[in-house]
């Protein structure tokens, strides 16, 4: 019908209150403790030997699981970051390990968060390897860590490289 408007409720928006409600004249004895989210703990898991888990755990923090699955029942993190070098065999190893998760063959209770690819050499990736990385990135988040000459000689005291800012945010390490 034209000319008629729907009648709007007069009480204003409905408000939902969560938790206990105290009367205006009652004050709680002490303020409630504020809960803060603790940073997520990660386990760096190598998909092949020499992937760089020890270096990444030292620079970004977290648990270096090496080539083994973390054991949450022993206090190790259940959140997994798979680590590989960007050479062909490293990328093959990532795909193999991703298949392990896809098939449900990884230990129960682990949470696969991302893949971390560490440069195997300075400079740009050859086209074939870049396409490989793109395919991996289409199924899971991929974080890239550039070639760091200081790491090669064991100097892990410098802050993480600027190109790894997204990984630093994920692991809550400031760059």
Q: What is the pLDDT, as a whole number, of residue 34?
A: 53
Residue predicted with more confidence, 57 or 36: 57
Q: What is the pLDDT, as a whole number, of residue 16?
A: 43
CA distance 167 to 154: 21
CA distance 175 to 169: 8
**Rounded average pLDDT over 80-104:** 96
Q: Which domains does the chain have, with CATH numbers?
A: 42-171 (3.40.50)
Taking only the tens place, the pLDDT of each residue in 102-152 is 999 999 999 999 999 999 999 999 999 999 999 999 999 999 999 999 999
CA distance 138 to 132: 10
pLDDT above 60: residue 162: yes
Residue predicted with more confidence, 71 or 34: 71
Which of 75-79, 150-154, 171-175 is least confident?
171-175
CA distance 148 to 38: 30
Query: What is the DSSP pairing of strand 111-118 with strand 142-145?
Result: parallel
Alpha helices in the chain (DSSP H): 53-60, 88-102, 127-137, 149-152, 165-171
> What's the token pair of residue 15?
């408000």
pLDDT above 80: residue 12: no
Q: What is the pLDDT, as a whole number, of residue 27?
A: 52
Percent helix / strand / coil, the chain, rounded to 5: 30, 15, 55
């Amino acid at each position: 019908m034209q000319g008629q408007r729907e009648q709007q409720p007069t009480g204003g928006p409905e408000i939902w209150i969560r938790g206990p409600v105290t009367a205006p004249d009652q004050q709680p004895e002490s303020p409630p403790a504020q809960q803060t989210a603790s940073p997520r703990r990660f386990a760096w898991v190598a998909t092949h030997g020499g992937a760089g888990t020890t270096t990444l755990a030292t620079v970004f923090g977290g648990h270096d699981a090496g080539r083994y699955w973390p054991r949450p029942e022993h206090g190790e993190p259940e959140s997994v970051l798979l680590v590989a070098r960007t050479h062909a065999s490293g990328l093959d190893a990532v795909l193999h390990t991703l298949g392990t998760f896809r098939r449900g063959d990884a230990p129960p209770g682990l949470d696969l968060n991302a893949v971390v690819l560490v440069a195997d050499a300075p400079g740009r990736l050859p086209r074939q390897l870049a396409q490989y990385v793109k395919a991996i990135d289409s199924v899971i988040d991929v974080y890239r860590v550039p070639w760091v000459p200081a790491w090669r000689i064991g100097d892990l005291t410098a802050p993480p490289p600027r190109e790894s800012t997204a990984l630093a945010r994920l692991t809550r390490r400031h760059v």
